[in-house]
Amino acid sequence: SISSSGRTDALVHAVNQYAHFDFETGMSCDQIKRALNSLLADDIYIKDVKIVSCDFHARFDVKSKEYVYKINIGEYDPLSRNYIYQYNCNLNIEEMKKAIKLFEGLHNFKSFTKCNLNILDYDREIYETKIECVDNIIILTFKGDGFLRYMVRNMVGCLIEIGEGKRKVQDIITILKSEDRTKAGKTAPACGLYLKDVYYE
């Protein structure tokens, strides 16, 4: 039985994903790592294996998560099409930088997630955001206490519309207050999203 720190949607990448399991063996952590990697598919790799306390839980002990989203505003690159969103047009990055900061803090993110009758609490806190552009690749970073389904991709979709001039920076506040998914616009493609890291105590 394996418990992960959370799920990622199809076509979303994970640079660092964490999971725990109970296992009685005389094998060392390095031996377990090599054994697991010999059995896994080629699109996944165990970086490290550590012994943790019996009460540790990979999901419930998470303190924060960090996601990045990559957008190519330069020429179309077929080699990275599965790993970077090929937008291939200019965006107003300065306006996007202003807008992304409005996501920071504690907010109700119901407007930026898939509606789910089983979710009672849509409040999440975003600790840090950042946008940088390197060689025509825009990299958006979000670090927070937790993320709802499609939340990052919906925030990115809204930021792209601001970069296109279709929305204003202050629209972020209006959309958050509306608690209405239909106000937030399109969902950015999954291929550009990465779970960068998961943080514990």
Catalytic residue annotation? 9
Using alpha carbons only, how large is the chain's radius of gyration in Å? 19
- Beta-carbon contacts of 172 under 8 Å, excluding residues fewer than 6 positions away, are 99, 102, 103, 158, 162
| Cβ atoms 177, 107 nearer than 8 A | no
Strands 85-86 and 64-72: parallel
CA 68/CA 44 separation, integer angstroms: 19
